[in-house]
Every structure is written in structure tokens, then in C-alpha cells.
Structure 1
Amino acid sequence: MKKYRQPFYKTYIMVFLGTIIITSAILFPIIVEHFNLALSNGVEIDYLIKISILFFVPYIIFIIFITVYNCFYVVVSNSGIDIINGIIPFIRKKYLYRDIIKVEIGNKGGFSQNYIRVIKSNKTKSLPLVICLVSKEDCMSILNDIKSYGIDIEITGHLK
């Protein structure tokens, strides 16, 4: 069994900070506009602080969701492929080689990270899982290991 995973803290910090910046850029102007509108209508500041909690709870949940969704790594074993979350390890997906038709590894371009998608024998596609905890060299090694088991590989875009 081979684990393909680079140091967790480097990628996690980058993904977490990027998520906070993007989400803040989208949500803060809306929150500030509503806050100023309420103050101009004579609403008390204590009430606004209580209401702002309703804005920040979904904001925090969204940041956590995006961060968790972007941190997967791959384990290749003799029986199949495991795609495991680096933050919450019990979030995992196991695919047996006998059920797999094709594995797609790629990158959408721009600032996006590498992803992996498994196509099973009943023609169902898995969600594209972002494998930012796997380096480019390890992606190529994963491809070679999966090819050795007779699985078709499709590379889309350029791997980072």
C-alpha cells in the first residue's frame, strides 16, 4: 500500500487563507451595507451585534466546508484506491479495481488544484475530489500504479 501525501500544514494553511479571503471579499460588503442601513434607521448597536452572529455562523460553516473539501490524498493498495480527507480522515471513499472503468486526473487551469474522478463500471462518475495534498510527482506515480492494474487513465489539463 502506497500513501501519496505531502506535508499537511503547507497546503492546509494556503487553502484556509484563500478560502477566508475569497469568502470575505464576497460577503463583507453585503454585511456592511446591511449594518449601515440598520444604523441609519435607528436600530441599537446591541441588536445589530446579535443579528450579525446570524451572518457569521453560515460564513464560518462555509469556510470550514470549502477547506475540508479541498484537502484529499490518495492511497493505492492491491485491492483498490482510497481517497481520504486530510483534515477529517473518516471522510473517505474506497474504489475497488474490479468496479473501476477509468480514472480521470487533471486540473481545470488557472489557480485550481489537481483533482481525481473515478468512473465506475455502472457508468457513474464520482465527484471530482481535490487532491491538493498530493504533489505533481506523486500524481504521476499514482497514474503509473493504477495503469499497472489495467485501469484506463485520462489526464485533463496540466498537472500542478
Structure 2
Amino acid sequence: MGWNILTFLLPAALGVLLVSAGIQDIRMREISNAKNAAIALMAPLWWVSIGLAPWPGMAIQLGVALIVFALFIGAFALGQMGGGDVKLIGALSLWLTPLKLLDMLTAMAIAGGVLTLLFLIDRRWHRREGPVEVPYGVAIAVAGLLALREPLLNQFTQ
């Protein structure tokens, strides 16, 4: 991977957008379409900056992201996730190789489980009724930030 300014700035911008999405999800229980669109639209620039070939590299990235997005639409249809969460996962999937994506999804599941447990404890502690609304964008953002550590930090190891 040849170093250029975009190979640092694009993942850094993605990190800022992920943090912003997590904060927005905590505050409002939604993630804006603008953030999700920005994440998705920056991915092709990332592909070019790292020298990913259109075939099969970019095609694989797009195909895997579409599969992941379709799977999580199922979770949305079952009422298990919000639409902003699904769009964020789909957009983030464009950035990660298939193996890195599996790592991210695993970290997301663990972070989501911990977050859900904390919200259940809080609900019981405060004796609240009704369903627990978990801001799953936080888990997605944390997992995405963990996945980003490699392209950001590897810039400085040579």
C-alpha cells in the first residue's frame, strides 16, 4: 500500500463520522442519512487511495457490502434493529475486507451484547417498564473504530 495523504485522512474522517454517529444514536436514537451517505461515498475514494483494483477488488467490496446490508435488512424487518443502524453497517462494510468485516461484526456483536446488558441492568435498577431501546449505533461505531486501528496506525510503522 503506497502512502499518500488520503490513506490517512479518509480513515480519520471515517473515525470522526463513526464517533458522531454513536453520539447521535445515544442522544436521539437515530443516525442521520447524511452520515451514512458520507461513509458510503468515501469508500470508493478509499479503494482508489489504497490501490484496490476494480476487478476483482472493488467488485468484491461492493458485493460483500450488499450481502451484509441485505442480511441486516432482515433484522430491521423483524424489528431487531433500526434503519440507521442497518445503513451504518452497510456503509461501513464498504471499507473493510471480508476478513476484517467478520472481525468487525464479531466485535459489534460483543459490544452490542454488553450495551444491551447495561441497558437491561439500568432498566431494572430504575424500575422502568416497557422495551429496552439500545442505541446499537454505539456498538457499530466501537467495532468500526477497532477495525480502523490498522489503517490509521500502520501509517507510522516502517
Looking at CA atoms only, which structure, 1 or 2, has the larger radius of gyration?
1
**TM-score under structure 1 length normalisation:** 0.29
**TM-score under structure 2 length normalisation:** 0.29
Higher relative contact order (CA 8 A, sep 6+): 2
Instruction: Flag the structure with higher strand content.
Output: 1
